[in-house]
């Protein structure tokens, strides 16, 4: 019971008012569903609710009991204020639907000469070979493009690969400025085309990459055409949580949705690969900018500041490899975090001449995003301080807080739903950010205040795990946070049961806050259980057929089940009575409608001959190029699918626990 009848009436009135506001929000959201044009008014209401909440927060809720309380109270307010800026930018970007006119090669008066630059340092040669094979097999006049392998490792096997594929091997004596310096060296000494493409060593371009991007340069002001980074292997979340078909690649939200909306404001971010540049525009900014470990963000921002146009083509035109392990994923994101902060310090988008208001806002928001780790840690600390040592970081009557906070938060959730995001939900945003928070909070703070020259770290890829194991070193920060959270949970429950009655709502709010944080922390710990990647080569699902001729027998038509760079699984269209008789024999594979035929050995049959598995014999370079082109001509989407409904999200969270228990505890 609360103290008095008068108190109860006040509480009841606040709850009734809260219910009325929530009903208005729900009705308004339903109207927006029926009339999309109303969404700008809903966004305006949501921003108003957020401003009201933040005004109330700064005037009435920052605790001043002692220095510790004031310090953490101000940090929490600043974290919420940063969230206000980020959510406002997100809403402005997604408020209007964006469509752009498609341009093709037919829109050009003359086909430009294109240089394709593949940046490599120490990536496995088998990965680089696929990238080069795809690059040299573009559906573009052979005399109008040249492939350059920009090899900062100076490896002899890369030289031989370039020679075999008809590419140019570009090396340099010094290795200053990492990837940017490597590319600039090739531009200064070799490349002479009107346009140039930048590809990472693992990014396999589809044969229509140039065909689908070069046409946009019919506009003389166009400087950058960016295609998304798409991945054909599971990322650490998909793999370690065993949710292959339930969640998208973690990068898909930015690569597919955010970049599309940035394109509407000429604020497309160069993501380091899968990009086509106008050479004269890059020359105008002094080639690719150096001095940071993320040259891509600076490149696009400086081009836009000069008045050049940039555009995003939301098509799967190249596919690469996600980091195999969560440890590698952390290395990659640490570099991105530090690099973005370095760019802000060197070319502050708020002060850079030539940018529009929205471009400044979008780029600043992009840098501010990388402080989410620090925000998360502040959110973690809040309930722990109160439940463990009684230090409040947020001082307010619980029911007053609910009256201001819940409408603001619920309107934000509704807007996220109204935008129909296909690759992200509130729950998964919380999980992704929780997984990285301990590491990126340190990265952001150290780079902002104690920056020193950072070494460019290439993200390891293609090194599949040989066995399942727990990455203890990476999990330590999460284990510590989980330990303190559980301690705070026990302390909070004990205090709630023994303290005065009017404190019960206060403890309940803090416990709810704590449990929400703990959910993200626990799933992050599960992600640190590195699941074995059994396959040494990724398999691609392709709907096509071929002819298979086993030695001494007539050709048999078969449907392709899946295919990789080393093997293939097929289903004969006519069931063979004794399929095991094929095992160990040589076979000829002839692909329909494609200039490709391969010799292979039958390894085994499965399901009474319904699935025949063959391993290719050693391929010639011509066959390998044709095979890569074939696979990626049919492969039109990256790994994984997703539905953004809340029901699917709840089932997914349950699946995480079930699948983790089966894989790591029951060993199934």
Of the pLDDT bands very low, low, confident and very high (cuts 50, 70, 90), residue 519 is very high
Domain 105-322 in this protein, CATH class: alpha beta
Q: pLDDT (tens digit, 9 = 90+) per residue, 257-315?
A: 999 999 999 999 999 999 999 999 999 999 999 988 888 899 999 999 999 999 999 99
Determine contact, residues 165/186, Cβ cutoff 8 Å.
Answer: no
Give the global pTM: 0.89
pLDDT(472) > 80: yes
* Phi and psi angles of residue 602, each rounded to the nearest 5 degrees, phi first: -75, 115
Q: Any idea how long the chain is?
A: 668
Which residue stretches of 369-457 are H helix? 372-389, 398-418, 426-449
Q: What is the radius of gyration, based on Cα positions, of the chain?
A: 28
Determine contact, residues 199/145, Cβ cutoff 8 Å.
Answer: no
The residue-averaged pLDDT of 549-570 equals 91
The residue-averaged pLDDT of 439-443 equals 94
The residue-averaged pLDDT of 411-420 equals 88
| Amino acid 469: pLDDT | 85
| Amino acid 645: pLDDT | 43
Burial of 479: CB neighbours in 10 Å, binned 0-12, 13-18, 19+: middle
pLDDT(456) > 60: no
Of the pLDDT bands very low, low, confident and very high (cuts 50, 70, 90), residue 425 is confident
Choose from 434-448, 529-543, 573-587, 627-641 the range with maximum mean pLDDT.
434-448
Determine contact, residues 135/99, Cβ cutoff 8 Å.
Answer: no
Q: Which of 503, 410, 406 is nearest to 17 (CA)?
A: 406
The domain spans of the chain are: 5-96+371-456+472-527, 105-322, 545-634
Q: pLDDT (tens digit, 9 = 90+) per residue, 616-654?
A: 999 999 999 999 999 998 887 777 644 444 444 545 566
Q: Which of 560, 91, 100 is nearest to 315 (CA)?
A: 100
Helix 372-389 vs helix 426-449: crossing angle, to nearest 10: 100
User: What sign for the dihedral angle of Cα 106, 109, 111, 112?
Assistant: negative
Q: What end-to-end distance do the CA atoms of the chain give, in Å?
A: 51
Which CATH code, of 2.40.10.220, 1.10.40.30, 3.40.50.720, 2.40.50.100, is assigned to 545-634? 2.40.10.220
The residue-averaged pLDDT of 499-507 equals 86
Provide the token pair at 373. 């780790």
| Amino acid 175: pLDDT | 84
Tell me the C-alpha distance between 557 and 87, whole Å.
55
| Strand residue runs (E) in 343-489 | 469-470
| Amino acid 453: pLDDT | 58
The residue-averaged pLDDT of 447-462 equals 66
């Amino acid at each position: 019971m609360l103290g008095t009848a008068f108190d109860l009436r006040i509480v009841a009135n606040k709850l009734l008012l809260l219910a009325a506001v929530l009903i208005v929000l729900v009705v308004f959201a339903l109207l927006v569903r029926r009339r999309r044009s109303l969404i700008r008014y809903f966004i305006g209401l949501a921003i108003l609710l957020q401003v009201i909440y933040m005004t109330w927060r700064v005037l009435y809720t920052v605790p001043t009991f002692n220095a510790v309380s004031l310090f953490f109270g101000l940090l929490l307010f600043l974290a919420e204020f940063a969230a206000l800026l980020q959510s406002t930018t997100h809403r402005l970007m997604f408020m209007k639907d964006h469509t752009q006119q498609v341009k093709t090669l037919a829109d050009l008066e003359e086909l430009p000469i294109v240089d394709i630059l593949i940046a490599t340092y120490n990536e496995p040669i088998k990965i680089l070979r696929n990238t080069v094979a795809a690059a040299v097999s573009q559906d573009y006049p052979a005399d109008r493009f040249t492939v350059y392998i920009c090899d900062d490792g100076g490896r002899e096997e890369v030289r031989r690969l370039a020679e075999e594929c008809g590419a140019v091997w570009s090396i340099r004596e010094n290795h200053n400025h990492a990837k940017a310096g490597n590319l600039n060296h090739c531009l200064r000494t070799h490349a002479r085309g009107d346009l140039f493409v930048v590809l990472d060593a693992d990014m396999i371009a589809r044969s229509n990459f140039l065909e689908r991007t070069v046409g946009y340069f019919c506009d003389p002001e166009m400087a950058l055409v960016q295609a998304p980074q798409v991945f054909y292997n599971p990322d650490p979340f998909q793999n370690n949580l065993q949710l292959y078909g339930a969640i998208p690649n973690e990068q898909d939200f930015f690569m597919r949705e955010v970049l599309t909306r940035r394109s509407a404001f000429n604020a497309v971010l160069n993501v380091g690969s899968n990009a086509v540049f106008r050479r004269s525009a890059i020359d105008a900014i002094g080639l690719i900018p150096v001095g940071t470990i993320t040259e891509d963000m600076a490149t696009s921002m400086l081009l836009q500041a000069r008045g050049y146009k940039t555009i995003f083509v939301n098509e799967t035109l190249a596919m690469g490899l996600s980091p195999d392990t969560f440890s590698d994923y952390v290395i990659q994101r640490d570099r991105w975090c530090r690099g973005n902060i370095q760019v802000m310090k060197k070319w502050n988008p708020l002060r850079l001449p030539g940018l529009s208001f929205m471009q400044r806002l979008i780029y600043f928001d992009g840098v501010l995003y990388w402080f989410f780790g620090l925000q998360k840690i502040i959110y973690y600390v809040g309930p722990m301080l109160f439940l463990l040592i009684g230090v409040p970081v947020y001082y307010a009557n619980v029911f007053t807080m609910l009256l201001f906070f819940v409408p603001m938060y619920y309107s934000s959730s509704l807007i996220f739903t109204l935008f129909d995001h296909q690759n992200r939900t509130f729950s998964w945003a919380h999980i992704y950010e929780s997984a990285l928070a301990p590491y990126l909070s340190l990265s952001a703070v150290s780079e902002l205040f104690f920056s020193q020259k950072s070494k460019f770290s290439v993200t390891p890829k293609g090194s599949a795990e040989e066995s399942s194991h727990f990455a203890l070193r990476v999990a330590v920060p999460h284990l510590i946070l989980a330990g303190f959270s559980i301690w705070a949970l026990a302390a909070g429950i004990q205090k709630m049961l023994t303290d005065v009655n009017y404190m019960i709502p206060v403890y309940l709010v803090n416990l709810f806050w704590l449990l929400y944080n703990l959910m993200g922390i626990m799933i992050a710990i599960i992600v640190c259980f590195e699941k074995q990647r059994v396959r040494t080569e990724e398999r691609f699902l392709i709907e096509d057929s071929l002819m298979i001729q086993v030695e001494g027998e007539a050709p048999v038509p078969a449907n392709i089940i899946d295919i990789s760079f080393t093997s293939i699984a097929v289903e004969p269209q006519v069931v063979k009575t004794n399929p095991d008789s094929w095992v160990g024999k040589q076979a000829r594979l002839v692909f329909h409608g494609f200039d490709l035929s391969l010799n292979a050995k039958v390894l085994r049959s499965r399901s009474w001959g319904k699935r025949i598995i063959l391993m290719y014999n050693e391929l010639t370079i011509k066959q390998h190029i044709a095979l890569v082109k074939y696979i990626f001509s049919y492969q039109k989407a990256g790994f994984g699918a997703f539905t953004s409904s809340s029901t699917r999200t709840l089932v997914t969270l349950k699946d995480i626990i079930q699948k983790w228990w089966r894989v790591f505890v029951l060993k199934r």
